[in-house]
Structure 1
Amino acid sequence: MPRYEFDRAPSRLDTGSTKWSRYPADVLPMWIADMDFSVAPEIVSALQRRLEHPVFGYAIARTELREEIVRDLAERFGWTIRPDDIVFLPGVEPGFNMALKSRLKPGDKVLIQTPIYRPILDAPAHWELEALTVPMVRAEAGYRPDRGALAAGLAQARAFLLCNPHNPTGHVYSREDLAFIAAECEARDVLIVSDEIHCDLVFAGREHIPIASLAPAVADRTITLMSASKTYNIPGLKTSFAVITNPALRSAFAGARSGMVDSVNLFGLEATLAAYRDAGAWRNALLGYLQSNRDHLEQEIERLIPGIRYHPPEASFLAWLDCSALGIAGSPQSFFLRQAKVGLYAGEVFGAEYGAFVRLNFGCTRAVLSDAIERMAGALAGRAQP
């Protein structure tokens, strides 16, 4: 197997990086879901080959890409789809907005589980829909869905915006919980819009199950949104896709792009093909490094900042940290930015009731991760000094 180096990362200062441009150079940016690692060399080579052709016009997905996605979903998740079931998009966020626009009318209710990343929280209001929120339940082992609250919410809703693996908690839904959700949605004729963008970053001991793969009847009411962007660190290439096996649902979804969602990035299509076709070894190596980072973060928090409550995520490179026991006056995000020079995502972004939380991105080198935790611990220790 090729050896990939994740302990070294290129400097991203002065590259136009959103992540590295928000704060001054002395701040470690650990906020947006964007990893610092070099892209898989197989993807870089594919883009270099495409650059040899000097025309960069509008593009469509080649048959080879569709077939590669079909193969990948069958091989990795046991989910059989057809090439025509795939609708390419410039992002998952446009996808769930298109889904709501295509099937709901103003005043309809959409169920969302909190905490949840902001674009999902904001989506219903774009279409004059009412968001119904139910919280995830925190147990000793981590976050889980609340079946009773879900059932009550789905009894009122016309659509359910599911995020699996869940952002920001990193929860991976079990087959039993997905079957429960599917049955409730079928009984109440609820559309399922499933954001599964982190599905390829599931750690040992868990498995990702696309909810639409449970049964044809579930797939008939489901719009599944996926992308290579998070896993293969190519979000700037703006390429995602929806899998919709129901032809009528797919037609309505595609019609909702009018005037809102343009064609997909040429280089994003090439990079996505290379990712799924050629970069599996890189993904496996990355997953091992991220799992090691996740565990290192747990150990360092326990050692240096035991007041933070942290449930190691079952997937993704995002950590959801409860800072409520630290006694910080005001926002923990503001405190750590000001006193530790660590830029985290503020918890209230994921729901108004989560102001005592922060989200930390550990998709970085071990050295940067260790530096961030040491800075945070130092800021807390310094606060106690006279």
Structure 2
Amino acid sequence: MTDGRSVFDFAMPIERRQPWPSQKWQRYDSDVLPLWVADMDFASPPAVIEALHRRVEHGVFGYGRIPDSLRDSLCGWSDTHYGWGIEPRSQVWLPGVVPALHLACQALTEPGDGIMTVTPIYPPFLKVACQHGRQSQTVPLSAPSTSGDEWSLDAEAIEATIRPETRMLLWCHPHNPTGHIWRDWELSVVAELAERHDLIIVSDELHCDLLLDEGACHQPLAYRFPELAERIVTLWAPSKTFNLAGLTCACAVIPDRALRQRFMAGTRGLRPEPNIMGLVAAEAAYLHGEPWRQALLETLRSNRSQLSSAVTNWSGAELHWPEATYLAWLDLRNTGLGESPTIPLLNSGRVALSDGADFGWPGFARLNFGTTPDRLAEALWRLGQMMSASSQ
């Protein structure tokens, strides 16, 4: 098999501060290496870029519509990669997964209802309930107690947190920030609780095409439990897999007609159309992006190994092997860097990580290893210097 990295270049650094503004690269000073927001430093697949060029050359950018060919491409992707045969009519295209979380909350729950999620969790999850006058209910995951353990769902804790007013579970599958792929028993717990307590599940599966271990295969929650179709909204997007976040395009897959109609009716007037360029990019990615994705996975596996090797030399730091995403969840509570370790790592180490407090877990940090190997090596060296200094 040809090494995809010889066909697609994931090693060449791309200037991202100029001429186009970048949230990731312009939030901090020019000497800071940014490994924070979930945005990779790689050019998107050539097929996507070529499709966008063709669309730009058309020259007219008026109101668009969802093409049947895009719906068909997502059906094909789902069938090929997950074994889930979805229908074109089950798709509701949206301008992003985070807006979809808010829209689902608005459409499928009432003021005062409880919205539950497990922590740590990427920050938008923690803002949905309060922003819509709902009750925020959080349940901590079971943290690894030894190097051989893994993050896991605490079934007793989630059961104890459910109240009569609990109406929705915001689920992240696979999990951001830990990179955990939920085990079958964990998904079964979620399914049983949802049915018994009459919960709607919004399953954010944004990183589902970035399972890093060889042979790993994503199982959408709605596919795993088809009997729960009337209560599951599945959220997908090409944004993380193909580095297209700025094109704001996502899809809610809602096979149950009644639930889909509730979602559509409850978001009417609030639900903007997706970016027409995002629609073009999504279709090209789903039709032609698989070779690029396979090459990307090889690069991310290598970067993950590089990161893991570095962390073993950081006194007090712990990393539990991320199974998915290009994000690593670091336990820095015993490094001597203080209650907010990302602050000294930024101020003195000149590396920007995401603060664990924003995910509900102070003392942790999320590191984005979706960058070139050389940039990652430099960032890891800087972090290692800080860890050594703090332990002395």
Q: TM-score, normalised by structure 1?
A: 0.96
Choose which of 90, 93, 96 in structure 1 pairs with 2:95: 90
Structure 2: which 5+ residue stretches go unaligned? none
> CA–CA distance in 1 between the matches of 2:26 and 2:268?
33
Return the letter of the residue paired with 1:191. I
**Secondary structure at 1:220's aligned position in 2?**
helix
Choose which of 370, 379, 386 in structure 1 pairs with 2:386: 379
Residue in structure 2 matched with residue 258 of structure 1 by the alignment? 268
> CA–CA distance in 1 between the matches of 2:169 and 2:97?
15
**8 A Cα contact 2:335 2:390, kept in partner:** no
Kindly state the Cα deviation for residue 151 of structure 1 after the two structures are TM-superposed. 2.3
Q: Superposed, which structure 2 residues align to 1:34-183 within 5 Å?
A: 34-139=39-144, 140-154=148-162, 156=164, 157-183=166-192
Matched, 1:17 2:27: no
Return the letter of the residue paired with 1:4. F
> CA–CA distance in 1 between the matches of 2:263 and 2:390?
53
> CA–CA distance in 2 between the matches of 1:179 and 1:27?
43
Describe the shift of the 1:38–1:246 C-alpha distance in structure 2 as closer, same or farther (beyond 3 A). same
Kindly state the Cα deviation for residue 302 of structure 1 after the two structures are TM-superposed. 0.8
Per mean C-alpha deviation after superposition, the further-off stretch among 24-33 and 74-83 is 74-83
RMSD across aligned positions (CA):
1.4
> CA–CA distance in 2 between the matches of 1:259 and 1:322?
43
Return the letter of the residue paired with 1:150. I
Describe the shift of the 1:377–1:55 C-alpha distance in structure 2 as closer, same or farther (beyond 3 A). same
Return the letter of the residue paired with 2:291. A
Kindly state the Cα deviation for residue 383 of structure 1 after the two structures are TM-superposed. 4.9
**8 A Cα contact 1:40 1:279, kept in partner:** yes
Return the letter of the residue paired with 1:377. G
> CA–CA distance in 2 between the matches of 1:280 and 1:234?
15
> CA–CA distance in 2 between the matches of 1:118 and 1:180?
24
**8 A Cα contact 1:333 1:345, kept in partner:** yes
Cα deviations by residue, 1:309-332 (Å, 9 ceiling, x for unpaired): 101211000011010111123411
Kindly state the Cα deviation for residue 259 of structure 1 after the two structures are TM-superposed. 3.7
**8 A Cα contact 2:353 2:366, kept in partner:** yes
**Secondary structure at 1:125's aligned position in 2?**
helix
Kindly state the Cα deviation for residue 71 of structure 1 after the two structures are TM-superposed. 1.1
- Runs of 4 or more off by more than 6 Å in structure 1? none
Matched length: 382
**Secondary structure at 1:207's aligned position in 2?**
coil
Cα deviations by residue, 1:153-203 (Å, 9 ceiling, x for unpaired): 345421110001111111111223212211211111110110000000001
Residue in structure 2 matched with residue 6 of structure 1 by the alignment? 10
**8 A Cα contact 2:51 2:284, kept in partner:** yes
Per mean C-alpha deviation after superposition, the further-off stretch among 173-182 and 126-135 is 173-182
**8 A Cα contact 1:28 1:342, kept in partner:** yes
**8 A Cα contact 1:295 1:312, kept in partner:** no
Residue in structure 2 matched with residue 239 of structure 1 by the alignment? 249
Residue in structure 2 matched with residue 210 of structure 1 by the alignment? 220
Return the letter of the residue paired with 2:17. L
Return the letter of the residue paired with 1:208. H
> CA–CA distance in 1 between the matches of 2:275 and 2:235?
17
**8 A Cα contact 1:172 1:207, kept in partner:** no
**8 A Cα contact 2:315 2:335, kept in partner:** no
Matched, 1:300 2:310: yes
Residue in structure 1 matched with residue 327 of structure 2 by the alignment? 318
Return the letter of the residue paired with 1:380. M
Kindly state the Cα deviation for residue 40 of structure 1 after the two structures are TM-superposed. 0.7
Kindly state the Cα deviation for residue 9 of structure 1 after the two structures are TM-superposed. 2.6
Kindly state the Cα deviation for residue 379 of structure 1 after the two structures are TM-superposed. 2.5
Cα deviations by residue, 1:263-314 (Å, 9 ceiling, x for unpaired): 11011000000000001000011011101111110001113x1421101211
